[in-house]
């Protein structure tokens, strides 16, 4: 699906279909979402710009992700897609930037791209040239990633309070295992999201200085301070992402430590039960032997005596464990 936009009075406005030779001069931005082979060939024939396939955009070598051909920048990165009702995922995103036109190539639905034209249309300060659209998209992505990191920090604080707070020991032992498992999965999902954010930040961090250097001759002057601000924001978010990653690892280690403690408690109880059961078993075994001459067999109180000995032999190890602080 193709969406085309043009510049009118420093505003970004939609160019109604069809996209053909007559509308090309008015188009500053072509947004290609899951372009078919026919749509890709149409863009190439009308603009002379190559539209990369999903496989080409997924390549990870720096030479494949950043290149300059005949004054046209071909850029690709990994885009984070975070739907409201599902898990986060990553997909390839491509930019083809020239002095006259921008083409974006994507294969995942994104609210950022859907709402961005309205945002640029309302805000004249953003400008509406191809390079302005490109920088605006990068700024919107960085803002989105910053919001996600802020949400992750709040969620990690909540998990930390739940683990180490005053109410952390309020769960019954039967529920403790379920709670720890759920917390571990939750931390794992947050760690996965954080790694995807880091991947997107890395892609933007590569693109920004490359474009600023390679397109310095024709980039509008008002964009250069925005490029500098972008680089600063990306650096700070990268550092913050590293801090979040360290906190995730700390909380995961803490949860695994609590799980190990719970498992050790179970083993300790089983060990105590088995050790405490040895003396009564020994007493019962002795008086269960079928020898003819056993003095206790003739006692009137032999049976109560044996039962009492069994009870005492079971309680004595438990008292010893308590005194030693093992229970």
CA angle 10, 16, 22 (to 5 degrees): 90
Judged against a pLDDT cut of 80, whether residue 268 lies above it is answered with: no
What is the rounded average pLDDT of the residues 254-271?
78
Q: What is the mean pLDDT of the chain?
A: 83
Q: What's the CA gap between 123 and 303, in Å, rounded?
A: 96
pLDDT band at 246 (very low <50, low <70, confident <90, very high): very high
pLDDT category, 125, cuts 50, 70, 90? low
Which string of DSSP letters, residue by residue, matches 12-78? Answer: EEEPPSP-STTTGGG-SEEEEES--HHHHHHHHHHH------HHHHT---HHHHEEEETTEEEEEEE
Predicted TM-score of the model (pTM): 0.76
| pLDDT of 239 above 80 | yes
Quote the pLDDT of residue 281. Answer: 80
274-296, pLDDT tens digit by residue? Answer: 777 788 887 787 777 766 677 76
The per-residue pLDDT for 84 is 66
Local confidence band at 149 (pLDDT 50, 70, 90 cut-offs):
very high
| Domain boundaries 2-264, corresponding CATH code | 3.30.460.20
Per-residue model confidence (pLDDT) at position 312: 84
Whether the pLDDT of residue 230 is over 60: the answer is yes
Given this model, what pLDDT does residue 236 score? Answer: 92
CA dihedral 188, 194, 198, 203 (to 10 degrees): 100
pLDDT value at residue 28: 85
Asked whether the predicted pLDDT for residue 168 surpasses 70, the reply is: no
CA distance linking residue 181 with residue 235, whole number of Å: 34
Kindly report, residue by residue over 37-90, the tens digit of the pLDDT: 888 888 888 888 888 888 888 888 887 889 888 888 999 999 888 776 677 888
Domain spans of the chain, in order of start: 2-264, 277-324
187-214, pLDDT tens digit by residue?
Answer: 999 999 999 999 999 999 999 999 988 8
Kindly indicate the confidence band of residue 96, based on its pLDDT and cuts at 50, 70 and 90: very high
Residue 75 pLDDT: 93
């Amino acid at each position: 699906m193709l969406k085309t936009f043009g510049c009118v009075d420093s505003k970004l406005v939609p160019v109604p279909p069809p996209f053909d030779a007559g509308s090309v001069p008015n188009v500053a931005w072509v947004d290609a979402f899951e372009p078919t082979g026919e749509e890709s060939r149409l863009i190439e024939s009308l603009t002379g710009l190559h539209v990369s396939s999903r496989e080409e955009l997924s390549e990870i070598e720096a030479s494949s992700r950043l290149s300059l051909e005949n004054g046209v920048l071909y850029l690709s990165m990994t885009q984070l897609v975070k739907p409201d009702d599902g898990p986060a995922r990553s997909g390839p995103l491509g930019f083809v930037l020239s002095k006259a036109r921008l083409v974006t190539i994507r294969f995942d639905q994104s609210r950022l791209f859907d709402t961005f034209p309205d945002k640029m249309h309302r805000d004249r300060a953003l400008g509406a040239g191809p390079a302005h659209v490109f920088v605006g998209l990068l700024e919107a992505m960085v803002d989105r990633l910053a919001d996600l990191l802020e949400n992750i920090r709040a969620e990690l604080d909540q998990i930390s309070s739940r683990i180490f707070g005053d109410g952390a020991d309020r769960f019954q032992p039967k529920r403790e295992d379920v709670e720890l498992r759920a917390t571990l999965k939750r931390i794992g999902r947050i760690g996965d999201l954080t790694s995807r954010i880091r991947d997107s930040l890395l892609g933007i961090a590569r693109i920004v200085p490359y474009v600023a250097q390679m397109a310095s001759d024709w980039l509008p002057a008002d964009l250069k301070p925005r490029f500098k601000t972008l680089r600063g924001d990306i650096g700070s978010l990268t550092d913050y992402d590293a801090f979040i990653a360290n906190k995730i690892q700390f909380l995961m280690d803490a949860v695994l430590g609590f799980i190990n403690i719970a498992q050790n408690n179970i083993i300790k109880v089983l060990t105590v039960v088995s050790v405490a059961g040895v003396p009564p078993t020994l007493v019962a075994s002795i008086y269960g032997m079928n020898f003819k001459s056993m003095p206790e067999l003739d006692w009137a109180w032999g049976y109560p005596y044996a039962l009492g000995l069994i009870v005492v032999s079971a309680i004595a190890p438990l008292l010893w464990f308590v005194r030693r602080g093992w229970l």
